[in-house]
Amino acid sequence: MSLYRNIVWFIKGMQEYTRGRYETASKSFVTKDLDVSVVGRSFMITGANSGIGKEAAMAIAKKGGTVHLVCRNKERAEAAREEIIRESGNTMIYVHLLDLSETRKVWEFAEAFKREHPTLNVLINNAGCMVNQRELTSDGLEKNFATNTLGVYVLTKCLIPLLEKSRDPRVITVSSGGMLVQQLNSADLQTERTAFDGTMVYAQNKRQQVVMTEVWAKAHPKIHFSVMHPGWADTAAVATAMPQFYQMMRDRLRTAEQGADTVVWLAVSSAAKATASGLFFQDRRVVPTHLPLAWTSSSQEEIQVFRGQLETLAMATRPTGYPANA
Ligand SMILES: NC(=O)c1ccc[n+]([C@@H]2O[C@H](COP(=O)([O-])OP(=O)(O)OC[C@H]3O[C@@H](n4cnc5c(N)ncnc54)[C@H](OP(=O)(O)O)[C@@H]3O)[C@@H](O)[C@H]2O)c1
């Protein structure tokens, strides 16, 4: 089954995820969807110092939004901030240092942000990684899972009360079409019992992001949740984590700006807001979350087990002293 899924996914990718496909799809984009001012609205973007996150930050800054860049490296973050201010003319661009794989710090960051900021209109969970060896964080968690799943879970969970207080709140999570080859597997969230394959661990995390988005959408109707695939874009992550794929595909990869297009559309447009909450997008359109005949759907029981495990792990890393409803 996994060979079938991988072959179908790769054929689909060659047809849909390349730059050529973006250029074709973009001919039917409605230009005025992005012709909006977001002055007075605030956006938090994780992993905003490079690639898709930086392009999304740049586009939103040009539309007048206040942008919180959440990054793990001070120099790279400050360089991105300076570039965004220089190119957009918008000075309301702020750097916050956070390594999303350090779950305890994610809690601390989100709680401090809530204390210091009266509103947050849009959270963009963009930071992601594909670590090809099994590494543990200081909390003892497998690094891909800690960054791509638990960090996203804790950050979003903590910020939901602030988002719910804010006008037209949205949460966008940058997943990957790679998730199509994986069925949710809550039995081994940290790859302790299965052979470690970084690409498949990443794809599993990206499936988990889709499931989390569906769960959040049902639980928090005041917020518009979406999850998306940017296509195959030429970024540092692809070049370093998947060098062979990068070499093979580099002439067909989208630019990071093209990869960011649907992120920006989901974050700012009225058209995106008009769609149902909890859906998966690609090139400004809702697309299926499963390949045909791939048997990747999950039962409600499996999803409940996954939710329970996330909550247990989140609570185990939560610093003491926060109010119960935080
Ligand atoms: N490019 C593609 O073809 C593609 C396809 C599907 C999905 N995606 C997704 O798109 C998102 C953005 O990736 P990208 O392609 O734009 O790659 P990128 O340019 O390498 O950007 C990734 C960003 O995530 C940050 N990051 C990684 N681990 C982090 C951590 N533990 N804490 C805080 N920040 C962290 C990186 O920071 P540093 O600069 O410090 O490393 C960087 O800013 C990811 O979620 C990725 O999975 C990309």
Active site residue 4: no
pLDDT at 157 over 70: yes
Question: pLDDT tens across 159-176, in order?
Answer: 999 999 999 999 999 999
Please report, to the nearest 10 degrees, the dihedral formed by the alpha carbons of residues 247, 252, 257, 259 taken in order: -90
**Is residue 282 in contact with ligand 1, taking CB distance under 6 Å?**
no
Rounded to whole angstroms, what are the CA distances from 227 to 256, 265, 281?
17, 12, 6
Say how many Å lie between the CA of residue 22 and the centre of ligand 1.
20
DSSP per-residue letters across 202-252: HHHHHHHHHHHHHHHHHH-TTSEEEEE---SB--HHHHHH-HHHHHHHTTT
Say how many Å lie between the CA of residue 323 and the centre of ligand 1.
32
Note the pTM of the prediction, 2 decimals. Answer: 0.97
Rounded Cα–Cα distance for residues 157 and 107 (Å): 9
Q: Are 133 and 198 in contact (CB under 8 A)?
A: yes
What's the confidence (pLDDT) of residue 135?
A: 97
Hey, whose CA ends up nearest to atom 19 of ligand 1? 51
Say how many Å lie between the CA of residue 127 and the centre of ligand 1.
4
Domains within the chain, CATH numbers bracketed: 2-13+36-316 (3.40.50.720)
What's the confidence (pLDDT) of residue 325?
A: 52
Q: Could you tell me which residues come within 8 angstroms of residue 148 by beta carbon, excluding any fewer than 6 positions away?
A: 128, 129, 202, 205, 206, 208, 209
With tokens 């690409």, the residue in question is: 199
Question: pLDDT tens across 8-57, in order?
Answer: 899 999 999 999 999 999 999 999 999 999 999 999 999 999 999 999 99
User: Which of 126, 131, 180 is the best mutation target for the ligand 1 pocket, counting ligand atoms within 8 Å of the beta carbon and taking the most?
Assistant: 126
**Tokens in use for 293?**
């005949």
Rounded Cα–Cα distance for residues 184 and 61 (Å): 36
Confidence category of residue 74, pLDDT binned at 50, 70, 90:
very high
What's the confidence (pLDDT) of residue 293?
A: 87
Question: pLDDT tens across 218-265, in order?
Answer: 999 999 999 999 999 999 999 999 999 999 999 999 999 999 999 999
Say how many Å lie between the CA of residue 129 and the centre of ligand 1.
6
**Is residue 173 in contact with ligand 1, taking CB distance under 6 Å?**
no
Confidence category of residue 70, pLDDT binned at 50, 70, 90:
very high
Rounded Cα–Cα distance for residues 213 and 208 (Å): 9
Hey, whose CA ends up nearest to atom 42 of ligand 1? 47
Say how many Å lie between the CA of residue 293 and the centre of ligand 1.
30
Question: pLDDT tens across 131-154, in order?
Answer: 999 999 999 999 999 999 999 999
| Of 3, 55, 19, 33, residue with least CA distance to 200 | 3
- Strands of the sheet containing 93-97, edge to edge, are 93-97, 66-71, 42-46, 122-125, 170-174, 224-228, 279-282, 285-286
Q: Are 206 and 176 in contact (CB under 8 A)?
A: yes
What's the confidence (pLDDT) of residue 2?
A: 86
Q: Could you tell me which residues come within 8 angstroms of residue 248 by beta carbon, excluding any fewer than 6 positions away?
A: none
**Is residue 59 in contact with ligand 1, taking CB distance under 6 Å?**
no
**Is residue 128 in contact with ligand 1, taking CB distance under 6 Å?**
yes
**Is residue 234 in contact with ligand 1, taking CB distance under 6 Å?**
no
